Amino acid sequence: MLKIQKAFETMSAKTRVQRFFQHEKTDRVPIDYLTNPTIHRRLLEAFDFAPDANDSTDRLLEILGVDFRKIQAPYHGPLLFQERPGLKVDPEYGYYSRWVDNPYGGYEDYCVFPLKDVDSEIIAGFPVPNPDDYDYTVVPDQVKKYQGYALYVGDPGYGDIINSLGRVMGMEDALVNLYLGDEATLAYVERKIKFELGKLERLIIEIKKAGNSPDFLWMGEDLGTQIAPMISHDLFLRVFRPAMQQFVSLANAYSLPVMIHTCGSSEWAYEDFIAMGVKAVDTLQPEAAHMAPEELKSKFGGRLAFHGCISTAAIAKLDEAGVETLCRNTLEILMPTHAYAFSPTHQIQDNTPIQNVIRMYQTAHTYGVYK
């Protein structure tokens, strides 16, 4: 079976991630994991784990040295959205998709937009889940299972506006309606935010009742293209920042730091994040404009913690030696901040050689140790 030669550890994952948010030196960099389902299955098979076994993912994360664990509750509410033959519908948000094969695996393609070119009444009536319609009874078992790991609630989809709207009304309608301040669209965004805040608070409370505490709240919003901002700063201040601030306020009420996911060229919003009280930024897509690790460290080192910066585009194309060089260079640049968590920028894609993924994580253990 393949093996990762893990770094010598002197602290728990939970302590390691807590110190990451506090810009304090750790034994090694915290490590995270994001992959597409297809390559996740291939990685399990490479380590001789049965992909369908209940404990396979946990065993893989342990081998890779991953410090982060999400606490979540499954949706057990009513059917909110009409099912359509041949399509998959997200039971919480109403996104329709179909599986599209490609030479390396495949992906879910969003293909039906129920709020595209519709009137305000239909947008106003589009369902949003109730925070009560989730099974929070599973939380104590997760908390017990992940004792010693860094626990978080949320993910890059929480608080998201652009992608969430784009998946139900198409990207053009989403951006135009936001720019024009369409009342029905903004009201739907507020309903979605209220639901997500309610669910996150319930999760936080249940984790605390189970005798632990989440270590941070994760939210997200894709604010950049590869070369420039996706929206104006004025629109960000009018719509996005007030929405984001509600998540920061919830986290502050429970003394939790916030990490925000932002794809593409997004450093233009980081001063706002700092002013809002956000503690860490995620993705750090290094090939995008103004997102190189040297520039991020120069502008924001000491004021923000960094999570990501290992390009999924690069590790798909490089050979193993190139992957090691990329990861080692990134570690050398960002580790001196004492606030860097090693992670792929996005989910590792299906066209990535498995040996590159393994070399990526081995590099984190080899060169991500603090002296």
Mean pLDDT of 196-213: 98
- In which domain, by residue range, is 142 found? 13-77+128-367
**Whole-number Cα distances in Å, 168 to 31, 81, 97, 164, 179:** 33, 12, 10, 7, 17
Residue 311 lies in a domain: yes
pLDDT bracket for residue 1 (50, 70, 90): low
| pLDDT tens, position by position, 253-279 | 999 999 999 999 999 999 999 999 999
Residue 106 lies in a domain: no
Number of domains in the chain: 1
Across the chain, the runs of DSSP E, i.e. the strands, are 68-70, 88-89, 96-102, 105-112, 150-154, 216-220, 258-262, 280-283, 305-310, 340-344
340, 305 Cβ separation under 8 angstroms: yes
Residue 3 lies in a domain: no
Q: What is the pLDDT of residue 3?
A: 84
Please count the CA atoms within 13 angstroms of the CA of 310 that sit on its side-chain side: 34
Q: What is the pLDDT of residue 238?
A: 97
Give residue 214's identity as a one-letter amino acid code: P
Percentage of the chain modeled with pLDDT above 90: 99
Residue 88 lies in a domain: no
The CATH code of the domain that includes 154 is 3.20.20.210
Q: What is the pLDDT of residue 247?
A: 98
Residue 230 lies in a domain: yes
* Residue 243, pLDDT above cutoff 90: yes
Q: What is the pLDDT of residue 324?
A: 98
The residues pairing with 152 across neighbouring beta strands, listed in sequence order, are 70, 216
Residue 2 lies in a domain: no
Mean pLDDT of 139-144: 98
Residue 55 lies in a domain: yes
Mean pLDDT of 26-53: 96
Mean pLDDT of 325-345: 98
DSSP assignment string, 173-200: HHHHHHHHT-HHHHHHHHHHHHHHHHHH
